[in-house]
């Protein structure tokens, strides 16, 4: 991400300082420095002369002449609202909807009231603690959708376990066994693990588990079922 920020800054600095460049000009500038970067939208922010630039699941703010780029949180002091986080939560929700539940391992509550998406590492201690209490979450009406984020990275033992769990005949059973430290038959198949990891990185993950609520808000780390239901109820 640091590379992305620096490249974005360089790209925007190449734009004309006398007038605000349009979206096509920014895309062109970025493509010269980082072909994989994609500007999704450019729009006026709540501050006059400052523009919101959306790149994937990240938000930047640019001066109207394109010379300055800001990475940070924009607040409405009067309303006491984090405007940046409000936008990001909506973007996270859309990104998860795009992944689709068919590309997650879901434990559905019998009488579901809430739904969370959890980025998990099979070998992470608090991830295992969360899953050991999966029945408590479901009893509270919380359905849990799992996405994989092996922190050791692609090619690691945790990554191989994630792929094997996904490729198992019974994914729920395989995930539960793996979380208990039991061996799971090694398998290979088409899987969404890389997509899960890319999405987690785009969300700015700093550790696992990471819980994303149905409204797109992030809760870093393990949250007990009783506490989580209160958070979800107050959204």
- The active-site residue out of 92, 121, 128, 145 is 121
Tell me if residue 167 is catalytic: no
CA gap 223, 111 in Å, rounded: 20
Cβ-proximal residues to 138 (8 Å cutoff; 6+ apart), any chain: 107, 108, 109, 110, 144
Could you confirm whether 121 is annotated as catalytic?
A: yes
> With b meaning 16 or more CB within 10 Å and e meaning fewer, what string describes 77-88?
eeeeeebbbebb
d(C-alpha 33, C-alpha 20), whole Å? 20
User: Of 92, 123, 127, 145, which residue is the catalytic one?
Assistant: 127
The CA distance from 193 to 42, in Å, is: 31
Catalytic residue among 40, 65, 87, 151: 151
Catalytic site includes residue 87: no
124 a catalytic residue: yes
DSSP at 47: S
Helix (H) or strand (E) run with residue 191 in it: none
* Three-state secondary structure call for residue 230: helix
The residues, ordered by sequence, that sit 6+ positions from 161 with a Cβ below 8 Å of its Cβ are 122, 123, 150, 178, 184
Catalytic positions, written as ranges: 121, 124, 127, 151
């Amino acid at each position: 991400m640091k590379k992305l920020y620096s490249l974005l800054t360089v790209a925007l600095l190449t734009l004309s300082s006398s007038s605000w460049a349009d979206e096509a000009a920014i895309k062109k500038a970025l493509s010269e420095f980082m072909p994989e970067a994609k500007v999704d939208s450019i729009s006026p922010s709540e501050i006059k002369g400052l523009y919101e630039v959306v790149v994937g699941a990240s938000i930047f703010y640019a001066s109207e002449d394109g010379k300055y780029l800001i990475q940070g949180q924009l607040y409405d002091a009067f309303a006491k609202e984090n405007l940046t986080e409000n936008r990001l939560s909506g973007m996270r929700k859309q990104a998860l909807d795009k992944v689709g539940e068919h590309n997650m391992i879901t434990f559905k509550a019998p009488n579901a009231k809430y739904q969370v998406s959890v980025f998990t590492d099979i070998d992470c201690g608090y991830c295992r603690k969360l899953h050991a209490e999966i029945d408590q979450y479901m009893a509270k009406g919380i359905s849990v959708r799992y996405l994989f984020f092996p922190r050791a990275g692609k090619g690691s033992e945790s990554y191989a376990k994630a792929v094997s769990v996904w490729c198992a005949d019974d994914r729920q059973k395989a995930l539960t066994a793996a979380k208990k430290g039991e061996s799971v038959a090694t398998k290979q198949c088409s899987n969404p693990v890389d997509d899960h990891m890319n999405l987690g990185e785009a969300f700015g993950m700093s550790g696992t588990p990471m819980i994303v609520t149905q409204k797109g808000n992030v809760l870093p780390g393990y949250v007990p079922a009783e506490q989580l239901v209160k958070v979800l109820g107050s959204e």
